[in-house]
Chains A and B, each alone.
Chain A
Amino acid sequence: MLSRWPAGALLKLGAVTLFLLRIFAQCLPALRYRREVVQQIYNAGARSLIIVMLCGLFIGMVLGLQGYDLLQRFGSESSLGVVAALGLIKELGPVVTALLFAGRAGTSLTSEIGLMRATDQLTAMEMMAVDPVRRVVAPRFIGGIIAVPLLTAIFSCIGIFGAQLVGVGLMGVESGSFWSQMQGSVQLSDVNEGLIKSICFGVACSLMAVYEGFHAEPTAAGVGLATTRTVVSSAVLTLVIDYMLTAAFL
């Protein structure tokens, strides 16, 4: 198994890339399924909203505590706003949202498509001369890449408020300097960096979810396995892409 690893990984990389191209080719035609796309934005986005907001709040609050503790050692608690905002916008927001998305929406995408595969629904579509990539995969993919950046923005905003809640409300950082420092130091390019990252993560996580579902072994165990693979490969891919993008933006 181990000796086959490089070849297997290469094979999968190629297969995933080809699948991505196949989806891209069907994205425009898939937009005619307006209702289906709306449904998928709802499934991927609105249904993940609560968990994303909750996690954003708590991560922001932890940042407030840890950031304060760290910064007051250098007597620069007033920079808490900058630290929290930059940390959230550039790193934590996109990454944590992508991981939450993979766990919440990605898995359900995979099992849904995998189950359609297992019950011959995808084959039936092909036999009715309907491309399942266009009818099933592309709308879900589009829903995912629209939902992730929006979820990320919401996550970051809630996180900043969480940090402010703890930093200003609890630890007594001066509210004015919290905001003014933040507004002075955060550049539009930082926000853009986070946005670009979240779009890339959205593509990666949605792609892995639909790929694993579409290629799931058509059995109950196969679908379960595919769901696990979605979470693992989405998480790894997200972190790898994150490193590369961070390096590219520096």
Chain B
Amino acid sequence: MARPNRALEIGTGLFVLLGFAALAFLTTQLPGSGIQLRQSGSAYRVAAHFDNVGDLKVGAPVSMAGVRIGNVESVRIDAREYKAVVELAIDAQYSQIPDDSDAAIQTAGLLGAKYVGVTAGGSETFLKSGSQIQFTQSALVLENLINKLFASIAGKDDKDDTDK
């Protein structure tokens, strides 16, 4: 008992360290509040304002014509305009995106995840770090659509009633 056993202590220490590292990973990295795992090293950032981003998540892909060109870096609210400000990190290799391109929040599949789709414009000047995308299209919120649908059906019924 008095003899120190270094192998034992090191083994145990490594195990406990690994265990707590795993625990730390689970608690900090997985929930969205966590620090981003992937730091896109060579990327430039542009901002876009949306009326509604739906449930767009940080880290969601930014794609152009179906090809991933970057990630959503942050989603926050602009306190003055009450609009959502989405920061997009676009890979440096896609440096020639026209500055009049428009960004739309789209859905992968019917119930799939939200992502940002960028459609190229015709301008000769390109987006660069810190610039802002002017034309945006908000997320289609399914509930709103359904509400509108019902409202229009109900409205039609009302009209039918008054016609009689």
Say if A and B assemble together. yes
Contact string against A for B residues 21-57, beta-carbon threshold 8 Å, 1 for contact and 0 otherwise = 0110111011111100110000000000000000101
Looking at the complex, which one of B8, B26, B31, B59 makes contact with A39 (CB distance below 8 Å)? Answer: B8
Asked, given contacts A45-B19, A49-B18, A153-B22, whether A184 binds B12 with beta carbons under 8 Å apart, the answer is no
In this complex, how many residues of chain B approach chain A with their Cβ under 8 Å: the count is 40
Q: Does the CB pair A45–B25 fall under 8 Å?
A: no
Give the CA-CA distance A76 to B108 in the complex, in Å.
Answer: 7
Looking at the complex, which one of A41, A79, A156, A195 makes contact with B113 (CB distance below 8 Å)? Answer: A79
Query: Interface residues of A toward B: which range?
Result: 35 or more
Q: Does the CB pair A180–B113 fall under 8 Å?
A: yes
25 A–B pairs (Cβ distance < 8 Å), ordered by A: A36-B1, A38-B8, A41-B12, A42-B15, A49-B18, A74-B111, A75-B110, A76-B111, A151-B19, A153-B20, A156-B22, A157-B22, A160-B30, A176-B60, A176-B71, A177-B59, A180-B59, A180-B60, A180-B61, A181-B60, A183-B31, A184-B58, A186-B32, A191-B26, A191-B30
Binding site for A on B (CB under 8 A): 1, 8-9, 11-12, 14-16, 18-20, 22-23, 25-27, 29-34, 37-38, 55, 57-61, 68, 71-72, 108-113, 115
Binding site for B on A (CB under 8 A): 35-36, 38-39, 41-42, 45-46, 49, 74-79, 85, 89, 146-147, 149-151, 153-154, 156-157, 160, 174, 176-177, 179-184, 186-188, 191, 194-195
